[in-house]
Structures are given as structure tokens and as C-alpha cells.
Structure 1
Amino acid sequence: MLYVVQLDWQDKDGVSRLDTILEYALAGTPYKLISHLEEFIALCPDTALRTAPDGKDRQLLFAVNLARGGMNLSYARLLYHLSCHSHCLEGWTGAVLVDGSEELFTKKIGRELIFMANRAGCAFPGKPLVEGTGSLYNFNVQAKLQGIDNLQAYKESARRLVKKVTAFVPRWEGMGQRVLALHASSRRTSNTLLLWELVRQHLPPEMSVQEISLRNGSVVDCRGCSYEACLHFGEKGDCFYGGVIVEQVYPAIKQCDTLVLICPNYNDAVSANIMAFFNRLTALFRKDWDTFAHKRIFALVVSGYSGGDIVAEQIIGALNCNKNFVLPGHFALMETANEPRSILGCPHVEKRAAALARRISGVAYA
């Protein structure tokens, strides 16, 4: 059963554009509408569905209607509930539909909701977000390619999203046998790499773990080749700019089941080399986008002061929303540590590292 969580920002006097989109997208799909937070709380108590390893019949479509300024007070109440109940969505899979009244905030709110639901245990398939800006200008390309108008392109995208989330069944067992860990840090000073070592020591010995440092060799960022040029190189598993990304990272991405990103917080963002990896992945994605839908992403984020959530959301946007990687529940381990090796003084950090290792190795609820 698909549960549609539509918490509107005010009492409606008529049919909204989001209502029209949902009517089209849900046609022929059995679903139940959740229109009040109290219903959601009853549906998803914090007692965690730990006996439901396959996520079957536990699917959520979050539908958010935004007023001016990206406001929705019912949505804010939902986020508060998710933040207070960190296991209430264990065993659930989700997708997000955001309809806006202006050109801003739809992606921001969508990415934020994915992050908050994921912290409560919800898993997401690749590309789980459909957003409609006020003008629907963001559907110009899709409409042109399909030979339809922007509103119809929006409806079709929403329908595909419903089909995706209802068909998605996360199967974690056996998915973590080939792990790729990417970093761009110095082992001498990096708390994030030290945190990874705490995680890695709890991984089963039979797992294959490959580490690649993006500090080794020049990592040239994407320079914005034309679509045709990028597709041409991508079809050969190549990129015009070559280097470690093509020689080491592309083959490793193809072979891995699970990608672990080791990301210290640099000015409230991932480091330049990790960002270059995001951008350069486009060439490979154009050719192998469907295989990315069977790969999981995890992240370790260490901040010197604060802002780990910003970095985690950046990773969600780049790899889950954009590049089609699966987002398992509780995908990110976020810590705060400043001085070298001070990560070891974080309370219960080893326990959290061990829990992440269990999730990487295929234990859904760790």
C-alpha cells in the first residue's frame, strides 16, 4: 500500500495544482491519503518496524505544497516530529513531490525532507524527488523532448515517481560485498579518515573494500563539455579530462555495490576534489545510469564546528537525487571534531561507527 502524506499549508477552498498532479500520478494505484500529522504519527510510531526487512507495503509519497517564501507550517510540524523520533520510519521507503508557488525553494525543501526522513530510517530509491516551480520552467527540456507542454511533463514525471516508489523493494543483504571508499584527506590530520578506520574495523572480513584517494594525482573539475561531447566520452567509459577519475574511479564505481564518501566539512561543503568527483561522474552516468540505481551511498561527515547536515544534504542532492544512487536509511554518520584525533573523544563514537558498519554490511536496522 502506498501512503500519500499531503499536509497542506492552509485550509483549501478549491483544487490546488498539487491536487491535479496527484490525481493524474496516482490513477490506477491503490493508496491511502494521510492529511493530518496525527494520522502520520499513528501510522509511523517510533517503535520501529524492525521485523520488516524488505520494505514491502510500507511506501510513502510525501507531497508538499509550498506557499510564498517556501512556507508550509504543517511541513514544519512534520520535520519536528521526524527529528524527535529517529526510528519512526524504519522499514519504510519514500519519494517526495514538491509543488511551489515561485521559482525558489522546491529543491531545497525536497532535499531537506529526504534528509530528515532518512535520519528517521526511511530509504529512498535513486531520483526520488519531483519538483514543480511556480512557472514550471524547470520542465522546459523534458516537455520539449516529449513533445508535450510543461504541465503534462510535470504530470508524467509525478506518475513515474509513483511507479518507482511502489516498485522499489530495498534488499540490503549481499549488497555491501564490494565497497568503494573515496576520500581526499590527509591521514596525518584527518578526523574523517580516522572515523572511517573505526567503521572499517567493524566490517566483516569477507567484504571487499577498495579505498581511492582523490589527493593522488590531479583531479580536474568538469569544464562543461557539450551534452554530445560528454555522451560521446561516457559511452566509452571515458571523460575528456582523463586523470585519476577515469583511470581509477570510473572502473571502481562500475564494480562496487556500495559507495562510501569520506567527507570533512570544508566551508559548509564537500571538498573541491569530492565536488569534482560529483561533476565528473556525469559522463559515466550518461551511459550507466540504470546500474547506479542498484548501488548504495553512505557518507561520513565530520565538521570542525557545525554544518554536517548541510554537507549530508549536498551529497543527497548530488548522488541520490541527481545520479540515481539508492539512499539506505541512516545513510550518514555525522560528527563534530576539530583538533586532530579529537574524533576519538566524541561520546559513543565507536558504537555509532559499528552501527554504520552493520548497515554497510547489509543489516537494515542497525
Structure 2
Amino acid sequence: MLTVLLPENDRSAALRQLLEPLLPAGSEIRDPDDGLDGLHSRRLLFAVALDEGGCSMAYYRMLSRLRRSTDLLEGCTAGCIVTGVGEFYTKDVARDMVFAANQAGCGFIGRPLVEATGSLRNFRTQAQIGGTDEVTAFHAALAELIARLDAWEKPAPIRNVLALHASQRATSNTLALWELVKAGLPADMEVREICLRNGTMADCNGCSYTACLHFGEQGGCFYGGPMVDEVYPAVRRCDALVMLCANYNDALAANLTACVNRLTALFRQTRMYDKRLFGLIVSGYSGGDLLARQLISALNMNKSFYLPPRFSLLETANERGSLVKLPGIEAQAAAFARHIAES
């Protein structure tokens, strides 16, 4: 049974009509303008229909309400659908919404998003693979998302944690934060760190779908290297992936980005639905939320990692060594460690 949050506008009626026959028995469709209270521990489907400008005033009112709360959606698990009239803004709206809802206590299943641009050209590949047309591929993706959300079960407890980073330990505030968090993890939790800073991390070169699938089925990637030798086996084994992200230019470090891109071959033959995603993000100035959104779109929406509620810890520290001097940082790190262990 799902609760659909559908902000009403002149484009929402068509989306409602599409959703109604696909919903499990007992589901309800609610306009967020009627209130967002009383939703704790529900299965939610966010459904947003954008207008010609890629906007929805009713959606922005819902977003504002989510951003002003830390527990409005406590215990909820969700997916989302965003439709557009044009070709832009569907993914942008989705990841803003997921980040805000996540901060308000909502988890998101792996691959939680179905987006439909106005032309449905974003479904061309799926249509070709399935031997059908874009409209049918879109409807099938929506039905599949609703079925997975309705049947979702919380993954088994975390026993193995993998941390990936591309930082220099002697100077990194990000790694200093990780050390504080790591110290608070249970003693029986196995933790592995992999540094991607050694200069041998080749980025994805864009193999064809069939070539990527072929090498993925062999458990590797055409380009080999540390991704195949170290990262793939560690990702397969872990229950939780912690991305340690220093924010220098409002973007993930190049080696972390290359790592995410290269995970495609692994994703071709291994879904990460039962693996949690966490992020530690330290900015010199501001913009940590931009990196959190990148992690959401790349690893939750794309690579299928489960996004636990409040998945990220964001801090600001510029000068070398300043992170450990922030007021209350040890308590925050310890609380986040407990959050990882209990997720």
C-alpha cells in the first residue's frame, strides 16, 4: 500500500490517470497542499508533473516544507516519478526532492526514479532493448518501480563497510572526519578503505552497451586496473559504501567520478539494492549539498544503492586541521557512526 504525494497543477491530472491503475490496493493519492503530517513510516511515491517551464508551484511549496523539517518523513521509504513537457529539469527536480526528503527522514530504494521527458527520448534505449516503443517502455518502468517499492524490505544488518576516497591523508579534513566516524563504528564491523589517488584510475571510455554487458558478466571491465582488481570485489562484498568527498569546486573529485563511471560494468550484472550509500562531505566554503545531490543521482538513482534516511554528513572546514576543532564535531561524528550501524 502506497501513499502518493502528487502536487496538483494543470499537468498532474494526466499523471494521476496513469498512476491509478498501477497502484496496489488500498493506496491513496494525496495533494501535499492538504498537509504532510501523519506520514511517518509509510511507503511514499513522489509524483511531480512539470509545466512548460520545468516548474510546478505546488511542488515548490512541498519542497519548502520538506527543507524546513528534520523528521517530517521519519521512517518512510520512497520512490519518485517526474514528468516534463520539455527535455530539461526532470532529473534536477528529482534529485533536489530526494535530497530534501532524505534530510527529513525518508529513505529511497535503489533506482527510485522514473523520469519522462516530453519527447520520451530518454526511454529510447530501454525501448530498443525491450523491442518496444518509448511509451510502453515508460509505462513498464513505472509499473516495475511501483512493484519494487511495494515489495521492498530493509536490507540485512551492516557487517562490512567500504570507504572510497581520493584525498591526501596528511592534509585532508575529509579523512579527519572519517577517522572520527570510523572510531565510533562497532568493533565487530569490518571496515576497508581504498584510496583512488594513485593516478592509475582510468575513466570510463564509453563502451557499447553489449561490450560493457559482456565484460560485466565476466566480473570485470575492458580497462582493468584497480577498479577490477580492488574496487569491484570490495563493492560486491560490502553492505555499506561510504563516499569520502572533499568539495573543492562544487563537484566530486575526478578519481571518484571516474570510479562511479566505471561501476557501470559491475552494475550490468550486480544490482546494489541491498547495499547502503553514505556520504561524508567536507567543503572549504559551501556547496556540500551539491555533492550530496551528485551522490544521489549517480549512486542511488543510477547505480541502485539504497539511500538510508539522512545519508550524508556535511561539514565546512577550510584550513588544514580545522575540522577536528569544530564545536561538537566529535559528538556529531559519533552520532553518524551510530546512524550507519543502525541503518
Shorter-chain TM-score: what band? over 0.9
CA distance in structure 2 between the aligned counterparts of 1:37 and 1:170, rounded to whole angstroms: 30
Offset of 1:198 from its aligned partner?
0.7
Q: Please, which of 125, 130, 133 is the counterpart of residue 149 of structure 1?
A: 133
What is the match of residue 18 of structure 1? Answer: 15
Offset of 1:29 from its aligned partner?
3.4
SS of alignment partner, residue 53 of structure 2: helix
Offset of 1:316 from its aligned partner?
0.7
Deviations 1:186-234 (A, max 9, x none): 0111110000011001011111000111113511111112222222221
Conservation of the 8 A alpha-carbon contact between 1:25 and 1:160: no
Q: Please, which of 23, 32, 38 is the counterpart of residue 43 of structure 1?
A: 38
CA distance in structure 1 between the aligned counterparts of 2:21 and 2:248, rounded to whole angstroms: 43
The worse-fitting range, judged by mean Cα deviation, of 102-111 and 68-77 is 68-77
Q: Does 1:30 align with 2:26?
A: yes
The 5 A counterparts of 1:110-129 are 110-129=94-113
Identity of aligned pairs, percent? 49
CA distance in structure 2 between the aligned counterparts of 1:8 and 1:260, rounded to whole angstroms: 37
CA distance in structure 2 between the aligned counterparts of 1:220 and 1:330, rounded to whole angstroms: 31
The runs of at least 4 aligned residues of structure 1 exceeding 4 Å deviation read none
Offset of 1:181 from its aligned partner?
0.6
What is the match of residue 210 of structure 1? Answer: 192
What is the match of residue 68 of structure 2? Answer: 84
Q: Does 1:100 align with 2:81?
A: no
The worse-fitting range, judged by mean Cα deviation, of 196-205 and 31-40 is 31-40
What is the match of residue 258 of structure 2? Answer: 276
CA distance in structure 2 between the aligned counterparts of 1:281 and 1:336, rounded to whole angstroms: 29
CA distance in structure 1 between the aligned counterparts of 2:136 and 2:224, rounded to whole angstroms: 40
Offset of 1:63 from its aligned partner?
0.5
TM-score (norm 2): 0.96
Q: 1:237 to 1:147 in 2, by over 3 A?
A: closer
What is the match of residue 5 of structure 1? Answer: 5
The 5 A counterparts of 1:1-366 are 1-10=1-10, 16-26=13-23, 28-40=24-36, 42-44=37-39, 55=41, 58-171=42-155, 175-289=157-271, 292-361=272-341, 363-364=342-343
Conservation of the 8 A alpha-carbon contact between 2:63 and 2:100: yes
Offset of 1:265 from its aligned partner?
1.0
What is the match of residue 52 of structure 1? Answer: none
Pairs aligned (count)? 343
Conservation of the 8 A alpha-carbon contact between 2:283 and 2:315: yes
The runs of 5 or more residues in structure 1 that have no matched partner are 50-54
Amino acid paired to 1:303: S
CA distance in structure 2 between the aligned counterparts of 1:106 and 1:348, rounded to whole angstroms: 38
Offset of 1:177 from its aligned partner?
1.0
SS of alignment partner, residue 142 of structure 1: helix
Offset of 1:16 from its aligned partner?
3.6
The worse-fitting range, judged by mean Cα deviation, of 229-238 and 309-318 is 229-238
Q: 1:251 to 1:199 in 2, by over 3 A?
A: same
Amino acid paired to 1:23: E
Conservation of the 8 A alpha-carbon contact between 1:24 and 1:155: no
Deviations 1:156-202 (A, max 9, x none): 2111111111111224xx52210001111001111100000110010
CA distance in structure 2 between the aligned counterparts of 1:154 and 1:347, rounded to whole angstroms: 49
CA distance in structure 2 between the aligned counterparts of 1:303 and 1:345, rounded to whole angstroms: 15
CA distance in structure 1 between the aligned counterparts of 2:26 and 2:339, rounded to whole angstroms: 31
CA distance in structure 1 between the aligned counterparts of 2:33 and 2:321, rounded to whole angstroms: 43
Conservation of the 8 A alpha-carbon contact between 2:276 and 2:305: yes
Q: 1:239 to 1:159 in 2, by over 3 A?
A: same
Conservation of the 8 A alpha-carbon contact between 2:110 and 2:300: yes
